[in-house]
Structure 1
Amino acid sequence: MYVILGASGHIGSVVIDALRASGEKVIAVAHSADKAAAIARDGIEPVVADVTDTGQLRSILQKGRRAFLLNPPADIKGDTNAGELKTASSIAAALEGSGLEKLVLVSTYGALDGAGIGDLSVLYEFERLVKATGIPVAINRGAYYFTNLDMLLQPAKETGRLLTPFPEDMKIPMVSPRDLGEAAAARLRSPSEDIGIDHVEGPERYSFADVAKAFSSRLGRPVRAETIPRERFEEYYLGLGFSWAAARCYAKMAEVTIDTGFEMPTRRHWGRTTLDQHLEALQENQ
Structure 2
Amino acid sequence: MFVIFGAAGNVGRVSAAALRRAGREVRAVVRDGKQGEVLAEIGCEIAIADLLDPASVARAIEGAYAVQILCPVPRADADPANTMRRMIDVSADALRANPPQRLLALSDYGAEHASGTGITTLFHTLETQLAPIDSQLTFLRAAEHMHNWARVLPIALARGVLPSLHHPLSKLFPTVAAEDVGLLAAELLLDDRPARVSPRVVSIEGEARVSALDVARTLSELTHRPIAAHEVPRGEWATMLQGAGLGENHARLITDLYDAHNAGRIDVETEISERRFGATALAGVFASILARVAVTSTASATSAAR
Q: What's 1:180 paired with? A: 181
Deviates more, 1:24-33 or 1:133-142: 133-142
Contact 1:116–1:249, Cα closer than 8 Å, also in 2: no
Deviates more, 1:58-67 or 1:174-183: 58-67
Shift of 1:262: 4.3
Q: What are the within-5 Å matches in structure 2 for residues 22-37 of structure 1?
A: 22-37=22-37
Q: Secondary structure at the match of 1:40?
A: helix
Alpha-carbon distance in structure 1 between the residues aligned to 2:175 and 2:42: 33
Shift of 1:141: 0.4
Contact 2:11–2:178, Cα closer than 8 Å, also in 1: yes
Contact 1:112–1:120, Cα closer than 8 Å, also in 2: no
Deviates more, 1:59-68 or 1:34-43: 34-43
Shift of 1:42: 5.0
Is 1:276 aligned to residue 283 of structure 2? Answer: yes
1:254 aligned partner, one-letter code:
Y
Q: What's 1:101 paired with? A: 101
Q: Secondary structure at the match of 1:171?
A: coil
Q: What are the within-5 Å matches in structure 2 for residues 15-54 of structure 1?
A: 15-41=15-41, 43-54=43-54
Contact 2:213–2:229, Cα closer than 8 Å, also in 1: yes
Shift of 1:263: 3.0
TM-score normalised by length of structure 1: 0.95
Deviates more, 1:27-36 or 1:228-237: 228-237
Shift of 1:118: 2.9
| Unmatched tracts of structure 1, length 5 or more | none
Contact 1:110–1:257, Cα closer than 8 Å, also in 2: no
Q: What's 1:121 paired with? A: 121
Q: 1:247 to 1:262 in 2, by over 3 A?
A: closer
1:255 aligned partner, one-letter code:
D
Q: 1:73 to 1:262 in 2, by over 3 A?
A: closer
Alpha-carbon distance in structure 2 between the residues aligned to 1:130 and 1:99: 10
- Equivalent residue pairs, number: 286
Contact 2:204–2:275, Cα closer than 8 Å, also in 1: yes
1:6-44 Cα deviation digits (max 9, x unpaired): 011110000011000010000110001211233213531
Deviates more, 1:37-46 or 1:56-65: 37-46
Which of 232, 244, 248 lines up with 1:244 in the alignment? 248
Shift of 1:261: 4.4
Alpha-carbon distance in structure 2 between the residues aligned to 1:94 and 1:116: 28
Q: 1:240 to 1:42 in 2, by over 3 A?
A: closer
Q: What's 1:73 paired with? A: 73
1:199-238 Cα deviation digits (max 9, x unpaired): 1111111100000001111222111111112222212211
2:280 aligned partner, one-letter code:
T
Contact 1:81–1:122, Cα closer than 8 Å, also in 2: yes
Alpha-carbon distance in structure 1 between the residues aligned to 2:266 and 2:80: 23
Q: Quick one: percent identity of the two aligned structures? A: 24
Shift of 1:114: 3.4
Contact 1:173–1:206, Cα closer than 8 Å, also in 2: yes
Which of 255, 259, 266 lines up with 2:259 in the alignment? 255
Q: What are the within-5 Å matches in structure 2 for residues 102-181 of structure 1?
A: 102-115=102-115, 117-167=117-167, 168-181=169-182
Q: 1:119 to 1:51 in 2, by over 3 A?
A: same
Alpha-carbon distance in structure 2 between the residues aligned to 1:101 and 1:121: 27
Q: Secondary structure at the match of 2:8?
A: coil
Alpha-carbon distance in structure 1 between the residues aligned to 2:241 and 2:129: 29
Contact 2:175–2:210, Cα closer than 8 Å, also in 1: yes
Shift of 1:88: 1.2
Q: 1:46 to 1:116 in 2, by over 3 A?
A: farther
Alpha-carbon distance in structure 2 between the residues aligned to 1:14 and 1:42: 12
Contact 2:104–2:185, Cα closer than 8 Å, also in 1: yes
Q: Secondary structure at the match of 2:133?
A: coil
Shift of 1:112: 3.7
1:149-192 Cα deviation digits (max 9, x unpaired): 11222210111111111121111111010000000000101124
Q: What's 1:83 paired with? A: 83
Alpha-carbon distance in structure 1 between the residues aligned to 2:265 and 2:53: 37
Q: Secondary structure at the match of 1:260?
A: coil
TM-score normalised by length of structure 2: 0.89
1:11 aligned partner, one-letter code:
V
Alpha-carbon distance in structure 2 between the residues aligned to 1:116 and 1:87: 21
Q: What's 2:57 paired with? A: 57
Contact 1:52–1:86, Cα closer than 8 Å, also in 2: yes
